[in-house]
Amino acid sequence: MLTLILKSTNACNLRCAYCSLGDKTLTRTLSEAEILKGLEWFAEYGKEKGEKTLSVIFHGGEPMMIPAPQYSRCIEQLMERYPDISWQYYMQTNGTILGPDYIDLLKRYDIHVGISLDGPEGIHDAQRKTRGGENTFGQIVENITCLKENGVSVSALMVLTKAGLNEDLAYLEKFCEMELPLKINPLLNEGEARKHQELALGPGDYGDYIKAVFNYVIDHEVDIRVSPLEDMLEAVLYGRRPRGCTFREECNDSFICVNQCGDIYPCGRFADAYSHKAGDIWRGISQEGQKVLKRLRQRRCVNLAEACLKCWYADLCRGGCGASAKDGPGGSKETVMCEDYRRIFDYLYGDGIEKYRRYLLTRKDRILQQLQK
């Protein structure tokens, strides 16, 4: 399925210490007509590729800074003009702006919401403050509760920084109580993060953290979905490539991005860096843009980095995200995350899989005992 990441604005009501967009002194927001134009361009792009189902992620900046009725009118016109396409909608938000109009929008179009929530309350509030310096964790948790009470599907996105490496993992139980699936992303050296090297992760830090999460979830029997851990574990168990764009060599055939200027990029990571522009919504993908997409595709299909060719796990990740290549976006070298993913796979193929096997056997015995009562 083809997915559009629509970065309708780079404006935001927060000032996160590590924001990938960097300084917010210059902001731009797509007009309602431009949002619709971007969606219509994507519909035509999907039709050319023979897609019957298309998904849209409303992204930013903070997408909820745009009035909900604008999105509603665009979605209505889109579905009216393209009735043969099945549409799926998502929204990635900081979760601090939520009113009746947005609840109505999310419910009406069955929009799944991803909310940024950086694990423990203290870590989150230190890193994700409002422009006025206020904490945001409490308000976000209240809004998550409100969304779930209204039947809106919600998941959480956490950015791991150095500050969180040694924090108690008990926060996972809170996420479990909220029935909140969690995706843990590593902090990358982009945007504002370059000014906050005290938050920077070292090689292997992210991998070791994910291993610790695996052990905590099993040892404490925490019923929570954690990505990419769950995807990587399934890959080990079933011998298939993990889900998620990081591990998919066809990522450039599955994602496309339109930013707040109406420019087209291979994905959101490239759009945030203003790198590898492929065209714009008024003229479509240019000839040079086609070459950009082809080069990125070849990087993971036929031009794997030398280090990847020597790696046991090359068939699982196919060189990793091109935006994280050590020689720059889309480069031919391995990504900055290689050591981390190698550590996770090493563990899962060894001690991790054995621990998981014992855990499943214990659960099996417990279920059999209950059935015999």
pLDDT digits (tens, 9 = 90+) for 141-162: 999 999 999 999 999 999 999 9
Q: Mean pLDDT over residues 214-241, rounded?
A: 94
Q: Which of 342, 266, 367 is nearest to 45 (CA)?
A: 266
Are 78 and 36 within 8 A, CB to CB?
Answer: yes
pLDDT of residue 111: 98
Are 140 and 174 within 8 A, CB to CB?
Answer: no
Query: With 90 as the cut, is the pLDDT of residue 217 above it?
Result: yes
Q: Mean pLDDT over residues 235-250, rounded?
A: 88
Q: Mean pLDDT over residues 334-339, rounded?
A: 92
Q: What is this structure's pTM?
A: 0.94
Q: How confident is the model at residue 365 (pLDDT cuts 50, 70, 90)?
A: confident
CA distance 121 to 260: 31
Q: How confident is the model at residue 23 (pLDDT cuts 50, 70, 90)?
A: confident
Q: Which of 115, 53, 58 is nearest to 87 (CA)?
A: 53
CA distance 119 to 116: 9
Query: With 90 as the cut, is the pLDDT of residue 136 above it?
Result: yes
Q: Mean pLDDT over residues 156-184, rounded?
A: 97
Higher pLDDT, 298 or 87: 87
Beta-carbon contacts of residue 31 (< 8 Å; ≥ 6 apart): none
Q: What is the DSSP letter of 114?
A: E
CA distance 34 to 40: 10
Query: With 90 as the cut, is the pLDDT of residue 282 above it?
Result: yes
Query: With 90 as the cut, is the pLDDT of residue 325 above it?
Result: no
pLDDT of residue 24: 65
pLDDT of residue 227: 96
pLDDT of residue 26: 82
pLDDT of residue 191: 84
Q: How confident is the model at residue 367 (pLDDT cuts 50, 70, 90)?
A: confident
Q: How confident is the model at residue 363 (pLDDT cuts 50, 70, 90)?
A: confident
Give the C-alpha distances (Å, rounded to integers) separating 36 from 31, 32, 72, 183, 286.
Answer: 9, 6, 10, 30, 20
Higher pLDDT, 371 or 232: 232
Average pLDDT in the chain: 94
pLDDT of residue 304: 86
Q: Mean pLDDT over residues 331-360, rounded?
A: 93
Strand order in the sheet with 182-186: 226-227, 182-186, 154-160, 112-116, 86-93, 53-59, 2-7, 255-258, 263-265, 279-280, 284-285
Q: Mean pLDDT over residues 28-54, rounded?
A: 97
Query: With 80 as the cut, is the pLDDT of residue 56 above it?
Result: yes
